[in-house]
Structure 1
């Protein structure tokens, strides 16, 4: 029994080391906003709440992967305009852009997600696979 555990630990160590070597830290998205009045601040807050209904967006903001910067030189009375987003491309719904996907990642997907598209570098933990099966989420492998 202990030999089997040692073998499993060795395999896990190798896989985790490979994931760490392959995974380059993703740059956070930076959204530049211009707020020059209370009305614009309220419009921004309403827009943010609407966008936070997406679990993926809310998770990125909470994790610090999506940040907000005030546009310099914003003057009072300037109109709130559509945000300028820089950084990596937004991950579409039903896609998780992580090397190792856990049960929590699957649980954080929206209720409407019925399929999960994974790239060649993505790996699922056994509990993540079980959670996907329990929720009826089909796992698809994509060739990038």
Structure 2
């Protein structure tokens, strides 16, 4: 059984690599960040380190697909009072923002996750589905 799992993993690695090679590079996503003080810089660095624990986020930053730009702190002449880090919403717990979800992605979910919400573009590998079943995680599909 273990040899079969290893063979399946090897095949999936090859297929995932092929999918990544075929995928057209998306335009880089730019996140505007307001840093006016040392405290702002520290909060941004702490937030960045927390977000970098997600392998997907870290890989996008390293590849240049997710960039940061300084916000001048003013919009329409008034002070900017939004959160320090602005941009796309963070992925809520129980969601995985990947086209192909693997067994490792399921294993990396927190222990408290009982429901996994997937969009129509998300696909699960058979091993990922098995891992979710083993951990008692229910899979929900979004309409859009």
Normalising by structure 1, we get a TM-score of 0.57
SS in 1 for 2:111: coil
Structure showing greater Rg:
1
> What is the match of residue 135 of structure 2?
135
Checking the alignment, whether the CA contact within 8 Å between 1:44 and 1:80 is kept in structure 2 is: no
Does 2:55 align with 1:59?
Answer: yes
Taking CA–CA contacts closer than 8 Å with sequence separation of 6 or more, which of the two structures ends up with the larger relative contact order?
A: 1
Instruction: State how far apart, in whole Å, the 1-side matches of 2:55 and 2:27 are.
Output: 15
CA distance in 2, matches of 1:91, 1:39: 25
How far 1:30 moved relative to its partner?
2.7
- Mapped to 1, the partners of 2:40 and 2:86 lie a distance apart of 18
Whole-angstrom distance in 2 between the partners of 1:98 and 1:73:
32
CA 1:46/1:90 → structure 2, altered by over 3 Å: closer, same or farther? closer
SS at match of 2:86: strand
Alignment-derived partner of residue 111 in structure 2: 111
The alpha-carbon deviation at position 96 of structure 1 amounts to: 2.1
Whole-angstrom CA distance in 1 between matches of 2:93 and 2:25:
21
Q: TM-score, normalised by structure 2?
A: 0.57
- Please tell me whether the aligned partners of residues 40 and 84 of structure 2 are also in contact (alpha carbons under 8 angstroms): no
How far residue 85 of structure 1 moved from its aligned partner, in angstroms, is 3.1
Residue segments in structure 2 that go unaligned for 5+ positions in a row: 1-11
Which residue of structure 2 lines up, in the alignment, with residue 71 of structure 1? 71
